Structure formats: C-alpha cells, structure tokens
Structure 1
C-alpha cells in the first residue's frame, strides 16, 4: 500500500456524525435492548428498595458578642472568618454525636429483627443483623457512627443559619436525631466554653506573680534613668517638635513658591527703573484692577481728543480742555503704574526677608531635636518596655477576673438557637423513581452505544469500497446489491437475464463496463472469477457477467471449479460431459458445450464429472491448449474458479488468463483473509483487474442512500429493484 493511500485511509477513519448515525441504525436493536433492560432493572430496584426518609432542623448561630481580654490584646479578631467553618466541623464532631446518642438512647438505633423478603436479599447491604453478640460499648459506637454517617450540614449563604438533615429508614428516628443534634450542639458549646475558661484561669493564676515582678522592675529602671540625667520628657514632646518642624518647612516652601512667581516681574520692573512708558508694557502690571481702571480713563480721554480734532482746531476752548484732560489722565495712569510696581517690589523684598527668618527658625528647632536624640532614644526604650509589661499584666489580670465570674455563672459567648424544629416526614426522600428511570435510560443508552462501538471495532470485514481500495490497493469496479429471497422468485445466478430492468442487472452492467475498461488492449478477453473463501457469490457474479457480455459478442462460461461446481446446478443442466471429460478426451467439443436457451450467444462449458485430481487437470498442457482454442473462437471467456484460500487452482489459472476479477462478500469475509488471498495473487504477478463487492447490504451502509436513489431513478424509467415485479410485468 502506498504512503498516499495510507494517509487517505487514515483520514477516512476519522469518526464523524454520519458514521455515528450509520452505527446506530446498524445496531439499533442492541442499543434499544440495553436501554430497556437497564431502565427496567433500575426501576425494579427503585420500587423494591427500602424507602429513606429525611428530616431537617434549622439552627441559627451568631458570632461571639465579645472577646476575652487576651484575645483582644493578641489580635485574634482575624480568626473571625473561620468561625462558621469551625461550627460545621463541631456539628459533625464525635462529642456532639455522642451527646445525640445519649439523649435519644441506643435502643432507638437498633433495627427491629425481621425476615427479609426474597427481593430484599438481592439488594446489597440488606442482610439481617444480629445484635445479641455485641457489647454495650460496641452498640454505642455503632449508634454514634450512624449519627455521623447519616448527617448532612449546610449553611445558608450569607447568613448564620445552618440546616441539619438526617436520612434514615425510620422517619421517627430521623426527626429525633435532627432535634437532638441541635440541642446537643448548644450544650457542647456552653460546656466546652466553660471548661476552656477554667483551664485558662488556672494557667493565668500561675503567671500573674511573675508578670507583676516584670512591671515593677521596668518601672524602677525608668525612674532611675530620669533621676540620673535629671531630665523630664513629657509624653509627646518629640512629636510636637517634629510637628512644628514640619510646619516651618511647609511655610518656607510656600514662600519660595511666591517668590518664584514674582521673580520674573520683579526683574523686569528693576530693569526699566522709573520709565512709565516701559512699565506700561509689563503685562503683569496691566492685569491689576486699579491699572485697568485708570487705563480706561486715559483711553477715553485720548478718544475724545481724536473726535474733537476732527471738528475743532487746536486753539478752540473745547479742544484745549480735552487736551488738558488727556494730560492729567496720562499723569494719573503713569502714577498708578509706578505705585503698583513699587508695591510688587516691596512684596518681593518682604518675601525674601521672611524666608531668611523662617529658615533660621527651622535650623534652630532642628538643632534642639538633634541635641536630645540620644537621651530620648534610651528613654523611649525604657518607656516601651514598661508600657508593654504593664499592658500584659493588665490583660492577664482582667482575664483572671472574667474566669472567676464564669465559675459562678454560665456565660455563653456563642449565641445559638433552634429556629425550626424537625417535623415527622410524611413521604420518603429517596429512592426517586423518576430520576432512577432517567439514569437507567442514560446508562442503557451508554451501554448500548459502547457495545455497538465494541462490535464495530472487532468487525474486521469490508464495509465500504474505500476500505477495499485502501487496504488492498485494488480498484472496486462493481458493487452488487444483495438479493432477498423473499422479494425474488428468480435465482440470483439468473437475475440479469430474468430481470433485466432491476437494480441488480444495472449493477452487473456497471461491472461489465469496468471489466471492459480494465482490458482495453485485448480483443479477445479471458477473465478468471474467484474469491477468498466459498459462499461469497463468485459463481453468481460469473454467470451474470457472462450473460451481460453475451450481448456484446460470443461468450463462453467455463466452470473450472472442479471441486464444488455450481454453474450446472444453477442452469438446471443434466449434461454429464464437460471440462473434465473434454480435457481427458472422453468427450468431444460439441458434446461438452451447451448453448444457453436464454441467450444464443452464451455457451456454457460445465465441469462435468468431478475428477480425483482437479489441480493436475488444470495445470496440464491439454487445458492450456483448450483455453487458447476458446480464446480464438469466443470474444469473451469467463472462467469460474475455486476460491484462492481453499486450493491452489486459482493461482494456476491466474497465469493463463488476461485478468482476474476478485469477489468479496460484503460484511462477511475477514479482511485479513482477503488481504492474504490478494497477496498470493500479486506474488505470482497475476493481473487483478478489480474487486467486486458482492451482496451489498444497502440498508446498513453509507451506500444505502445511493442505491435508494438509484432504485427510484431506474424505476422511473421502467427499471425495478425487485425481480418479482419485473417477472410479473413481463408475464
């Protein structure tokens, strides 16, 4: 097999939806059977299974309203997020389960002895139990295990409400367990809290004297340091100095920003000195409100002089008054410009002086802080040690007082209460018959599909022409549909001649065309028809092919299967002479050959009497001479031969003919045997012109749609797939 064919074959093996539909149609009985069996079995289990009841109670648990002094001091508030998960573990804990059993009683957990029914014995875990040989501790442990195994706890999202549910065969016991667990949890929380505080109090009582000594020692060390250095550092003194230092720094930065904003204007004013006309060009001065106002007055005076100049002369009284007004307005405008410029210069000088003053104050404060750093650090270390020891001592002392209060009164730090008590269930919780039936359907479907895939996987027969061509590297030149005996009164070997308008006959014509195109250079064609094993339909193919070729010229059908001859039987001939007697010389050519009454151009040379040595006869020179004589006389020589894997006759005859037509029965012959047979022929250089896929099950493979279309097509033009209809219409 070539590499390209191997690649194409692998691509064809990719499973797609069409293949899946074909698989389901092919094995639908198996799939349906598995679905029915699985559904009925699970439905039987659901009906016969012992009903289970579920009862549930609701418990609300609030977080602790207060924490102990030590918990607050050591920062245990971070454990709050784990509070509710811890409560779930506590509800499922062994101590709470023991309280439930003690509250209900062990005897309630012991099932009543009774004889099991026959169908209950089929269900796993339904065997009757004998409690008489068990001790009280064992029975108590079994009851505790029952509580823990049948319990389910769930928290309502976003709240402190917990649902406590129990499953049991006894609905009354399930209700008792749900209510008992809620009460037992509350008792366990209270008792464990009291015991923990008592143990904490005992530990604290042992540590208090040592802590008191540490507080006294650290206080004495702090007082000795103050007396030695004769200093008094008030609490927060350094913080105030640092705060003042920060304020000074912020003020200096603010003044520097103001200085920077005025600096460019200051330098321009200094550069023009007392020149009013140049001051009027500084944009920062022109933005001042007073300058803008006076500049407007000056502009009005200028505008008035311009207007009067168009009407009056320079010596006119109105003109003189207007010119004088303009002069005064100009003097006032320049005066305001100069005043504004002087004001900016003064502001700038003031900012510079204030920056110098603030920087001196900043340096002074910084020096004071630096000079006291060493003493301050040592003092702070002693102060921190004293404060820490004092806080620990105070926390332990407060916790000791709280523990003493617990001894006289039960203080519940966790607030838990039952919000909904469990009630007696009226209907079983499971088994759910609908769900089990649905599961049965799904399981049956999966098992059926799995079995179908398994059967398909181990099916090593040929199911399509692509498989044949890819595995054998031989073209498929014919696909012959299966003939059902119910739909046909004609023998399959005579289908072509008796039902010429059937789909079977048309497939024979297609095969004839393939044979002719495979041997285009031979005027007289000799074709050997063989198969892998018996019962693949090679004789049927040979006879129908011979009938079809007889329409194109003189044809002879040679029955060379001298071991199990079927041509004479299918033709209904009683002639005892044939190929064997003709080779041995016991009969003549004219006595051995029979003309078919249905087609005058078809002659038949049957096998004759079965000889004891068929292979020797077929290998003899007389047979070869006879075959040469037949090739000269007839245009087509069709030879029906024994299967390749049965005997060696086909291997011998394949060397004497122009081509070999290989017949494979669809979905019947294992592919390994077929490959071995074709390999034998190729090994001796036999010319295999093609393969015919016989008895094609068109209702099971991908060719079904093609043949259905073909049948409709030929039926429209007078052809029918059923030979019975054809024969009736002919009659």
Structure 2
C-alpha cells in the first residue's frame, strides 16, 4: 500500500477533523543546527575579514591627540567697573555658551592656520587617490560631457583654498566644555604629536589674544564715542539752563513754591469764610420768610419764632413782664383797681408790654438788616474767591513750566555727569584689560596614538564578520528550499524514507565506477545500498513487489546510479534484471560497457529480438542487464502499447526482481506509463539540489496516475555537512557489511519472503 501524496493526506486529515497546530513552536535546535552546519564557513569568513581589517589597520596613519584646558573667567579683574559699556553679563549661562562657540568659530581656526602656516603640513597635503584617477580618466574621454568649470582669480582661488584648509582644520579640532564648570577642553588631532600639542595651545592663545584685542578696540571706540557725546550733552545742558533763567526773569519769579503756598492758603481761608457766611445768610432768609408769613403786626406769633424768642433782649423783657404781672397780681389781692399802687402797677405793666412790642419790631427790623448785610458779604466773598482762583491758576501754570524747565536741566545735568564720569574712567583704563580666559593645563606632546585602536578594530571586524556569517547562513538556509536530511523528506513530503546514499568523492575529471559497490573504497557506499535494500524488502513484505521502477524529478539526480546499485544489492538475494527504460537519454548500456548496437528493451517490445538476445550478463555482479536498444522515435507510444505488457509478463516469469530505470518525470511522461504497470515506484531525490516544489509536483503526477510509491531515496548526501542527529538510521559511516552480516541478511530475507518463480 503506497503512501498518499501530501495533498491527499491533508484533505483526509481535514475530513477526519484532525487540524494541524495553528502555532509553530520555535525550536532552538534548528538554529543551532544551521550554525553548526556553516560553522567552518563562518569562522573562515571571520578570520578573513579580521585579516583584512588587520591589514587596513596597519596601513592607517596613527593619529595623536593633545588637549589644553582653559578657564573662562566669570569675574574679570578691572581697574574700574564699567561693564555697561561692553553690554556683557558674565554671570549668565549664555555668556559661557557664547565663549564656547567663539572657540569653535572659523575666525579662530583661520587665525591659527595662518599663524602656524599649516598649508604645507602633511595632514593637509592631499595625496592622489583612486577617485582622483577615475575623475582624470573620465575627463580624458572625449565623448563624456564635461562639467563646466568656473574660472577663479588668484585671490578667489587663494580664499577658496584657505576655506577648504579651515574646514579640514575644524574637523580635527574638538571643543568640549567640562560640565558644571568654567573649564573647556581644546583637543586637536594630528599625525604629528608635536603639532597636535602646538595647535591645541595656539588655539587657546589666539582666543585670548583676539578677545583682548576686541576689548581694547571696544574700549577705544567707547572712549571716542563718549567724548563726542559729552560735547553734545554740554551744549544741551547749557541750553536748558539758559531757558530756565530766561523764564525766571520774564515772569519775575523768585520763590514760586512760597508764593503758590500763600495763595493756596488764602484760597482755603476765603472758601471757608464764604461757606460760613452763606450758612448765616440762609438761616436769616429762613427767619425772614417766617416773619413775612406771620405778619409784622402779629406780635404774639412773632414771639413764637425761636430765633426771636431766644434773643437775649426779648428774654430780659419777658422776665421783666413776668415780674410786673406777678406784682400786679399780688397788689390786686390787697388793693382795689383804683388804688394808686394798682394804678402805678398797671401803668408799669402797660409800659413793659409796649417795650416788648417795640423790641420785637426792632428785632424783626434788625434781622432784615442783618440779611441784607449777609448777602453783601457773600457777594463780596464770591468775587474775592474768583480773583484768588484766577491768581492760583496763573501761579500753577507758571510753576508747571518752571518745573518742566527745571527737570530738563536736572536730567541733562545727570546725563552729562554720568557720561563725564564714564569718559574719565575709560580714559584712565583704556590701556588695561584682563584676559577673558587663562590656561589651567597646557597641552603636552602625546607619546601614544589615540587612534586607530588596531586590536579593537580587528576584534570588532571579527565579531561583526561572525554576526554577518550567521545572518548569511540563516539567509542561505531560508532561501534553500531543497532536501537536506531524512527529516525534510518525511516532514515536507509526508513520504516514507527508504534510505540515503552518501556522496562519493571522485578525483577530478573521473567517472563514477559502475562496480564501486564491490570495491574496497566503496564499502561504506555499499552498506548504504544494502540498507536501502533491506528497508525496501521489509516495507514490501505483505505486498507484491516483484517489478519496481526507479525515477526522479529532473536529470542528474543519480536515479540510474541508485537503480544500478539497488539491482546489485537485490541480485545478492534474488535473480534480478536491470532494464534501461529511459528511451530518451539511456545510460545503463554505456555504464556497463555494452555495445551501442546491442538489442534491448525497444527491440524486445518491437519484437525484433528475443529475450535472450536483449539480455547482457554482468560477470562482476551476476545480474542481468537489458539496455535500451535502439532509440525509437515514439517511445511513449511504444511503452503504452499492449506489447509492453507482454514483455513485462515475460520478465516477471524469468526473474525474481525486475528493476526499471525510467526517464525523469518533469522532462517526459514515459515514467508515468511505466509507473501504472509496475508493482511499486522508488523515487530518487538529490540532496541539497532538487527543489521541494518540483518534487511535490512530480509526486502529484504519480499519485494522479494511480502509481504505488514505495518510498523516497535521498541521494548524494554530503555526510560531512550533516549533524550527527541528522544521520539516517540506515547509514553508518564507520561500519560495513562483512560476510557474517551478509549471510545473516540473506537468512532473514529468505525466511520472510516467499521465493519467486525463477527462470
């Protein structure tokens, strides 16, 4: 019973409900296996790259680094403090960042380049390179378009070269501030250790010198500017003082503030008097309105007015009236009305009443007069207040103008005094400037190059090459969709693995000996073939396997070699015939040295030769060989004819084992015709060569033609590349069959297989 093709297996598994696992488990052993497979290539690549890196590192010019350390002064020593002129605040963080950038500037770099004349130093002399040679060759070819070159004058060319030199110099210079300090490191890299130290120190010196020169120039410029401004300010001050004095004389001003104070006090007093007088007038007007309402003759009602009643004169008269009325009342109790004392008392009472009436009238008249007087006083005070207010406003306007002119004079005087003071300070300190920085450590000549670190380069190249080799190994392994082990056959094809045959090393331009199976150097190979035979026999114990066909996917997989050696192994147990059924490119006859004109299978099918005439007996192996015979123009029709079935029956009647070497499946369909008529098919796959997709397609064609597939043989396996866990159980590189093993194998096979009819 043949093993079904994977598609059939998958469909049957789905129908039965057995689903494959959705998740794939990462097997680290597979990765280790890949690395182990390519380990020597990876190591060779690593050592090769490391050797090349060592050669390159040895040819690299060593570079030396020298470092000088500067201290950027925050509080610089000054003869007199006048930082405002410079506009710098050295306590700010931006100040230090600015100084660091100045150290990196092209101005400093250009000054150092020119001072040390680095144009002719070896670090900046460009040597001809391969790229320059390519450019020169390109320019020499006439038909290649040339880039238009801009012609520069001598000065422009010199400036361009200087800028290029400054760029190269800046690439070698490193300015690195020390964090949280006022220190900055100046590092220069050169192939000359003395030059490295000299440049690092010169950069600091040029920076200090340029800063001092800049300050000196700024001081001198500030002094000139102050002198010019001072004369202008003197003129402005004199003009403002003249305006103030002229205003005083024009307005006759002596003490503006004193006069304004007196007028202000007078205005305040007059306003108070006006308020009091108005209150009195209002009060008198109220009394007059009441008098007019009561009537001037109604003395009794007038007496009821509070202002009149409370008057002292009225109160005295009333007291007198009360006393007289009491006296009249007392006398009236003692005397009669005509008594002289009563008459005198009544006359006195009449006189007092008459006096009260006159006093009330007089008081009313006095109130009116007093009201008129209050009105005149109010009018006079209002006029005075208007006059005082006008005077106050005039004085205020004069004071405003006076203060304005005074402020202008004071401002001009302060500005003049400030500029005069700064001018004198600048004049005194113009020849003194403290350095913006100082060296804490000067650069010294280094003894050991900073780069290249040759051991590190070689080590990194070695490690990188190993990593690259591993990646390439995984990439090659991922892209290689061929069969490399028995596990690949079983997992990727779901087919029975019958055995594997090792790759036989041959000398250059030599051919594989057809009888290598019987030679001493072929004992390992012969053992693999016998293992294949044993595996095939044991798997076909309960099946009819007298006639078998050997085929492959494409030419060159070694199917003819497998068929020949399997025939040798089966010939040791049974009567076997090897038939060359590849009528396209036959090779069996040539392998055994049979003459090309010897009749074979095609002659036997056509009936132009008998069985005995078509058979060649190999003396070494003892098997019978039927070559292809003449090459027919229509091999497919010949194999599909009824005559081929008769030939097959005759071969089965005369031999225990009939082995057909057929054409590759992908090339022609001859093998499919034969596969349908034989008992089983052995499929040969070349290790690490045949594509998986090709094998699946060919096996699918066999399954579609109802052929019985006995198993797969993995041929030409390079056992040196295989991991020990990949060795198929039937291959042992250190052992081979001896006589006892051979007899034992025959004994086992004879006891399990029924003897077939022999010729």
TM class, shorter-chain normalised? 0.5 to 0.7
Deviation at 1:532, TM superposition (A): 1.7
- Counterpart of 2:387 in structure 1 is none
Deviations 1:656-687 (A, max 9, x none): 12222111122233444334333332333333
1:468 matched to 2:476:
no
- Counterpart of 1:56 in structure 2 is 67
- Counterpart of 1:267 in structure 2 is none
- Counterpart of 2:706 in structure 1 is 685
TM-score normalised per structure 1: 0.58
CA distance in 1, matches of 2:61, 2:536: 72
Deviation at 1:27, TM superposition (A): 6.5
- Counterpart of 2:186 in structure 1 is 164
- Counterpart of 1:16 in structure 2 is 31
Matching residue within 88, 101, 109 for 1:89 = 101
Distance 1:153 1:665, change over 3 A: same
Distance 1:27 1:594, change over 3 A: farther
Distance 1:715 1:639, change over 3 A: closer
Distance 1:30 1:627, change over 3 A: farther
Deviation at 1:538, TM superposition (A): 0.9
CA distance in 1, matches of 2:22, 2:728: 28
- Counterpart of 1:186 in structure 2 is 208
Matching residue within 440, 446, 455 for 1:419 = 440
1:628 matched to 2:649:
yes
Matching residue within 166, 171, 182 for 1:149 = 171
Deviations 1:399-426 (A, max 9, x none): 9978974664277687621234345567
1:657 matched to 2:665:
no
CA distance in 2, matches of 1:152, 1:484: 62
Distance 1:438 1:180, change over 3 A: same
3-state SS of 2:578 partner: strand
- Counterpart of 2:735 in structure 1 is 714
- Counterpart of 1:409 in structure 2 is 429
- Counterpart of 1:327 in structure 2 is none
CA distance in 2, matches of 1:147, 1:703: 61
Deviation at 1:187, TM superposition (A): 3.5
Give matches, 1:688-707, under 5 Å.
Answer: 688-702=709-723, 706=727
3-state SS of 1:563 partner: coil
Distance 1:62 1:133, change over 3 A: closer
Deviation at 1:692, TM superposition (A): 0.9
Deviation at 1:530, TM superposition (A): 0.7
Deviations 1:356-398 (A, max 9, x none): xxxxxxxxxxxxxxxxxxxxxxxxxxxxxxxxxxxxxx9xx99
Distance 1:26 1:482, change over 3 A: farther
- Counterpart of 2:395 in structure 1 is none
CA distance in 2, matches of 1:603, 1:577: 14
Give matches, 1:498-517, under 5 Å.
Answer: 498=519, 502-517=523-538
3-state SS of 2:515 partner: helix
CA distance in 1, matches of 2:222, 2:739: 106
3-state SS of 1:656 partner: coil
Distance 1:543 1:434, change over 3 A: same
CA distance in 1, matches of 2:99, 2:668: 84
Instruction: Note if contact 2:119-2:125 (Cα within 8 Å) is conserved in structure 1.
Output: no
CA distance in 2, matches of 1:609, 1:562: 8
CA distance in 2, matches of 1:689, 1:524: 9
3-state SS of 2:735 partner: helix
CA distance in 1, matches of 2:634, 2:43: 49
- Counterpart of 2:600 in structure 1 is 578
Deviations 1:440-475 (A, max 9, x none): 555665666666566555544332233334443333
TM-score normalised per structure 2: 0.56
CA distance in 1, matches of 2:616, 2:161: 98
CA distance in 2, matches of 1:520, 1:474: 18
CA distance in 1, matches of 2:206, 2:575: 106
3-state SS of 1:669 partner: coil
Give matches, 1:664-683, under 5 Å.
Answer: 664-683=685-704
- Counterpart of 2:130 in structure 1 is 122
Give matches, 1:275-290, under 5 Å.
Answer: none
3-state SS of 2:201 partner: helix
Distance 1:712 1:519, change over 3 A: closer
3-state SS of 2:605 partner: helix
Deviation at 1:504, TM superposition (A): 2.1
Instruction: Note if contact 2:68-2:442 (Cα within 8 Å) is conserved in structure 1.
Output: yes
Aligned residues: 530
3-state SS of 1:680 partner: helix
Deviations 1:522-571 (A, max 9, x none): 23432210112222211121122223233443433222122333323333
Deviations 1:298-324 (A, max 9, x none): xxxxxxxxxxxxxxxxxxxxxxxxxxx
Give matches, 1:527-542, under 5 Å.
Answer: 527-542=548-563
Distance 1:154 1:20, change over 3 A: same
Higher mean C-alpha displacement, 500-509 vs 477-486: 500-509
Deviations 1:238-291 (A, max 9, x none): xxxxxxxxxxxxxxxxxxxxxxxxxxxxxxxxxxxxxxxxxxxxxxxxxxxxxx
Larger Rg: 2
Instruction: Note if contact 1:194-1:406 (Cα within 8 Å) is conserved in structure 2.
Output: no
Give matches, 1:339-378, under 5 Å.
Answer: none
Instruction: Note if contact 1:34-1:445 (Cα within 8 Å) is conserved in structure 2.
Output: no
CA RMSD across the alignment: 5.4
CA distance in 1, matches of 2:549, 2:717: 22
Instruction: Note if contact 1:108-1:173 (Cα within 8 Å) is conserved in structure 2.
Output: no
1:643 matched to 2:653:
no
Deviation at 1:507, TM superposition (A): 2.0
CA distance in 1, matches of 2:585, 2:479: 31
Instruction: Note if contact 2:53-2:457 (Cα within 8 Å) is conserved in structure 1.
Output: no
3-state SS of 1:502 partner: helix
CA distance in 2, matches of 1:125, 1:190: 48
For structure 1, the residue ranges without an aligned partner over 5 or more in a row are 209-393, 721-731
Deviation at 1:693, TM superposition (A): 0.9
Distance 1:581 1:53, change over 3 A: same
